[in-house]
């Protein structure tokens, strides 16, 4: 896709399964599919493969429902209508979308704008599909950031409306949308009684329970500076993981690599960090934190993560140094 997808961070994580030494009544089902323009993998632990496949079907249906609510790339969605009406009129939306937008604005406020869903207005300035051969002009960048600013997203709770105050503004949930979908997929499967599993939304991961052998899930965090290298293996039973990185999606111009993660204030790619992995209870919030810390950089990123003791972080600098908190 052309343009900026703040949430399309090709995250560096891998599932490491440990074979059981004993016969188990439970089995592990996995299914790969394409949702929200990305690869999803849904894994569940179940005693019944037929029932398990039906449950995976329902999780996929839930993620499709979310995409049809929040996608800015599908013309029929409420988000697309909000963007079409920018500077013109407010749009009435479902409570779910209203609440998601409200949380996104809160993430912007807590990061002083390092996170901003209105960065979608810059989707034609930087292009990370391999076709960009020249940097955008300073004039183009400065013009585009005039349409970026979470302060101009106006919410009216009684009417449940969203209004973009400036013509040319856009919002997009690329930065937290897949994390939100992973959380909702996990929530649905847990409500159905699935005792353990993983919803992996192209690296944004919500997991719970254990493997069939009763051992925790093992998630490897890749080190982009070492071929097949693992920075850390996480052993988890109930957690969410999100990674933002600058090394898999970028534009290379005049032998300089430009990250696809854009600073909403300056309009330029973030620098200093190559990878940020955040893990804690919520995939959506871990997504917001990893994005923000990529923009804020090492020093300010450390300060931010300290405010949330239920979340931990693995940062890899552009020099290859690994920092864990």
According to the model, what pLDDT value does residue 303 have? 97
| Predicted pLDDT of residue 6 | 34
pLDDT band, residue 88 (cuts 50/70/90): very high
pLDDT (tens digit per residue) in 34-45: 999 999 999 999
Q: How far is CA 96 from CA 72, 102, 103, in A?
A: 16, 10, 11
User: Predicted confidence band at 258 (pLDDT cuts at 50, 70, 90)?
Assistant: confident
The H or E element containing residue 292 is: helix 283-296
Do strands 256-259 and 322-324 pair parallel, antiparallel, or not at all (unpaired)? Answer: unpaired
Beta bridge partners of 242: 278
| pLDDT at position 243 over 60 | yes
Q: What does the mean pLDDT of the chain come to? A: 91
| Residue 26, pLDDT above cutoff 70 | yes
Mean pLDDT confidence for 25-33: 96
Please determine, for residue 19, whether its predicted confidence score (pLDDT) is greater than 80: no
Which CATH topology does 77-172 take? T-fold (1.10.3980)
Task: Report the percentage of the chain scoring pLDDT > 70.
Answer: 93
Quick one: pLDDT band at residue 101, thresholds 50, 70, 90? Answer: very high
* pLDDT number for residue 18: 54
HSE value, Cβ hemisphere, 13 Å, CA-based, for 20: 15
- For residue range 136-182, what is the model confidence (pLDDT) as tens digits? 999 999 988 999 999 999 999 999 999 999 999 999 999 999 999 99
Q: Is the pLDDT of residue 24 over 80?
A: no
Report pLDDT for 1: 36
Residues found in the chain: 325
Residue 232 in this model has a pLDDT that exceeds 90: yes
216-324 domain in CATH 3.10.520.10?
yes
Q: What is the mean pLDDT of residues 71-86?
A: 97
Delimit the domains of the chain by residue range. 28-71+173-202, 77-172, 216-324
> Annotated binding site for Mg(2+): which residue ranges?
175, 291
Give the burial class of 161: count Cβ atoms within 10 A of its Cβ; 0-12 exposed, 13-18 middle, 19 or more buried: middle
Distance CA 79, CA 172 (A): 7
Taking residues 223-246, report their average pLDDT.
92
Report pLDDT for 126: 85
- Check: CB of residue 217 under 8 Å from CB of residue 9: no
Percent of the chain with pLDDT over 90: 80
Residue 123: which H helix or E strand, with range? none
Per DSSP, 135 falls in state P
Q: Residues marked as binding?
A: 175, 291
Q: 């009417």: which residue's tokens?
A: 159
């Amino acid at each position: 896709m052309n343009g900026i997808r703040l949430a399309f961070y090709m995250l560096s994580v891998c599932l490491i399964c440990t074979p059981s030494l004993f016969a188990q009544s439970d089995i592990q089902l996995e299914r790969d599919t394409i949702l929200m323009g990305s690869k999803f993998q849904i894994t569940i632990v179940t005693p019944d493969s037929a029932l398990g496949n039906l449950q995976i079907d329902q999780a996929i249906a839930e993620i499709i429902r979310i995409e049809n609510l929040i996608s800015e790339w599908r013309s029929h969605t409420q988000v697309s209508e909000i963007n079409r009406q920018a500077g013109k009129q407010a749009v009435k939306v479902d409570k779910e979308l209203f609440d998601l937008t409200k949380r996104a604005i809160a993430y912007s406020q807590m990061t002083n704008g390092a996170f901003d869903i209105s960065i979608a207005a810059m989707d034609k300035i930087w292009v990370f599909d391999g076709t960009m051969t020249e940097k955008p002009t300073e004039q183009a960048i400065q013009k585009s950031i005039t349409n970026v600013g979470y302060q101009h997203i106006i919410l009216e709770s009684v009417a449940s409306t969203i209004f973009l105050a400036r013509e040319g503004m856009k919002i997009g949930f690329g930065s937290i949308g897949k994390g939100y979908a992973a959380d909702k997929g996990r929530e649905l499967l847990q409500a159905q009684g699935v005792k353990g599993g993983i919803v992996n939304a192209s690296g944004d991961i919500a997991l719970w329970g254990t493997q069939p052998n009763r051992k925790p899930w093992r998630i490897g965090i890749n080190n982009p500076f070492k071929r097949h290298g693992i920075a850390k293996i996480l052993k988890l039973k109930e957690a969410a993981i999100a990674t933002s990185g600058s090394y898999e999606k970028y534009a290379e111009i005049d032998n300089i690599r430009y990250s696809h993660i854009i600073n909403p204030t300056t309009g330029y790619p973030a620098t200093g960090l190559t990878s940020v992995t955040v893990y804690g209870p919520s995939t959506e919030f871990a997504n917001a934190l990893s994005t923000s810390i990529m923009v804020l950089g090492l020093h300010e990123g450390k300060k931010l993560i300290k405010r949330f003791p239920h979340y931990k972080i693995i940062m890899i600098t552009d020099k290859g140094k690994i920092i864990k908190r």
